[in-house]
Structure 1
Amino acid sequence: MPTLPREHSAPTPAQPHQARQMAESFGTDAQRYDRARPGYPDALVARIVAASPGPDVLDVGCGTGIAARQFQAAGCTVLGVEPDTRMARLAQARGLKVEVAGFETWQPAGRTFDAVVAAQSWHWVDPVAGAAQAARVLRPGGRLAIFGHVYEPPAEVAEPFAAAWRRAVPDSPLGERPARRPLDPYLAAYEKIADKMRGSGQFDDPEQWRFDWERSYTREQWLDLLPTTGGLTRLRPDRLAEVLDAVGGAIDSLGGRFTMNYTTLAVTAAHTGTP
């Protein structure tokens, strides 16, 4: 499943951050989202912390707090900003301070931070307004870090998923995409984010980081995660069941588990302190 939606995955809206129904669908089952979604490489968290001037972190679109808890474990003080009340409540119940708002309109009330991070969430933020808001709340030398996973199961799982999706949602533009995609489109998407950061005039030249890792999934674990991904969050129960049955059968044929090769991409830059 991709870290970012295809730019032409629907005729309207034109930009991912305008697709509010999709963006707000992930809180439908916040408990499942928090349970099933993977965390982020410890090396990525450590690198962001080491490159930031201090421990105060703002987590944009923090969701249920998956990344925020990792930054807390690394010694940071974290404030989350999350537009979905359902996700925010779960994060708060797990000890994270969260303010419910969209990042572009969130009011910092004079507060500033050493790092602004966005884990799997920046594509739901207006890229121009988001970069400007991040610059506004970062201390000089503070770091903006935007990151997310690119993950595709092996062909033996991806192809039955794609076929089941086309049957369940025959009119979906997502059905046009191949079962597995090369990494290049995602690298290009992160380069576009870097371009917006450069264009703001508020950041040093962005760096792009890459972390490759893998994780083994059982049938139960993968079928727990799938309904939390874009597109499936809004499927009717009968159509979702059709997709999950097909994928479950594919995993059964592999002996009940498979190995996922993950790539976590990040684009990051330090705030120049320019007003």
Structure 2
Amino acid sequence: MTKTPASERRRSFDGAVEIYHEIRPGYPAPMFADLFRLLPARPAILEVGPGTGQATRDLLGRGATVHAVEIGPAMAAKLCEALPSPALTVTVGDFEQIDVGEDRFDAVFSATAYHWISQKAQVDKPASILRPGGVLAVVDLNQVTSLDDKGFFAAVQPVFVRHGQGHVGPQAPERNAVDPPIRRALSDDPRFTDVKVRAYDWNQTYTAAEYRKLMLSNSTMQMMTASARQPLLDDIEDFVRQQFDDQVTRPLVVTLTTATVM
């Protein structure tokens, strides 16, 4: 399997905007409650990689003013269409390169997108644009090893392998062992303090057709040619219907990693 540059994978979501908007899940309400307890009333938030607004909606709903930076023009357009609000500003661009000024924001927030940012910029950029005492908040959606999936993810691997897309990398962690990489980066950086990780169980269940759409919203699927992608998706959808009674549960833990800039 050919490795695709991260820059291309990062931009691939622009080719699946409608499916992404339809099928990608939001995030737990208790997570937002915990986040907003760390912030002033009506905070100014810079959101990195909002997609089509899966988390933006909750930020706005809790009274934040949001400046969302989205690298995909089509994703940004869908975000504006889905969440028309005077409290939302959307900039199309690369978070690592745009100039948003300094000491302007109460929080830099990113949900399931911060891994696309270079490790250096993950800490350097928030340190320069957050007000003193401002919060960096990074949300990760972590698939975990759990009996909740009824053995699906182990059983389906031969189907992926048959299409040259078998799992590569470490096994998914247990629920109580999730440790987002950003925690280590922030803990080692003297510009940040009060580093904390909060975790929330967040299983998502899909029909075979819905799981197909979820897969199609993934960058790996978007980077495949249509001739290679279509038979893989067909086989996975058939497998779910025939072997798992038309239902897939994806065992997930959402983590909220927060740190305060000095």
Normalization by structure 1: what TM-score?
0.82
Deviation at 1:262, TM superposition (A): 1.6
- Distance across 1 between alignment mates of 2:92 and 2:34: 28
Q: Identity of paired residues, percent?
A: 26
* 2:35 corresponds to: 48
Q: Give the superposition deviation at 1:43.
A: 0.8
Contact 1:60 1:81 in 2 (8 A): yes
Deviation track 1:235-273 (CA, whole Å, cap 9, x = no partner) reads 22232222222222232132222333221122111111x
Secondary structure of the 1:51 match is coil
State whether residues 251 and 257 of structure 1, in contact with CA within 8 Å, keep that contact through their aligned partners in structure 2: yes
SS state at 1:255 partner: coil
1:268 partnered with 2:251: no
Match of 1:163 in 2: 158
**Alignment check: 8 A CA contact 2:175 2:253 kept:** no
- RMSD, aligned CA: 2.6
- Measured in 2, the distance between the counterparts of 1:216 and 1:176 equals 24
The answer on whether the counterparts of 2:187 and 2:195 sit within 8 Å (CA) in structure 1 is yes
Distance in 1 of aligned mates of 2:178 and 2:135: 20
Q: 1:20 and 2:7 equivalent?
A: yes
1:247 to 212, 225, 236: 236
Question: What one-letter code is carried by the residue in structure 2 that aligns with 1:26?
Answer: F
Which sections of structure 1, spanning at least 5 residues, go unmatched? 1-8, 14-18
Is the CA contact (8 Å cut-off) linking 1:128 and 1:200 kept in structure 2? Answer: no
2:225 aligned with 1:201: no
Distance 1:186 1:27 in 2: 33
| Structure 1 position 119 matched with structure 2 position 114 | no
Q: Match of 1:261, as an amino acid?
A: P
Contact 2:139 2:254 in 1 (8 A): yes
Looking at structure 1, the residues matched to 116 and 236 of structure 2 have their Cα atoms a distance apart, in angstroms, of 28
Equivalent residue, structure 2, for 1:59: 47
**Residues 1:138 and 1:10: Cα distance change in structure 2 (over 3 Å):** farther
CA deviation vs aligned residue, 1:34-79 (integer Å, no higher than 9, x gap): 1111111111111111112342111111121211111111221111
CA distance in 1, matches of 2:237, 2:103: 48
TM-score, L = length of structure 2: 0.86
Alignment deviations for residues 201-247 of structure 1 (CA, whole Å, 9 cap, x no partner): 22104111111132332222211111112311212223222222222
Q: Deviations over 1:67-108 (max 9, x none)?
A: 111111122111101111111111122224211121111111
Question: Unpaired runs of 5+ in structure 2?
Answer: none
Secondary structure of the structure 1 residue equivalent to 2:50 = coil
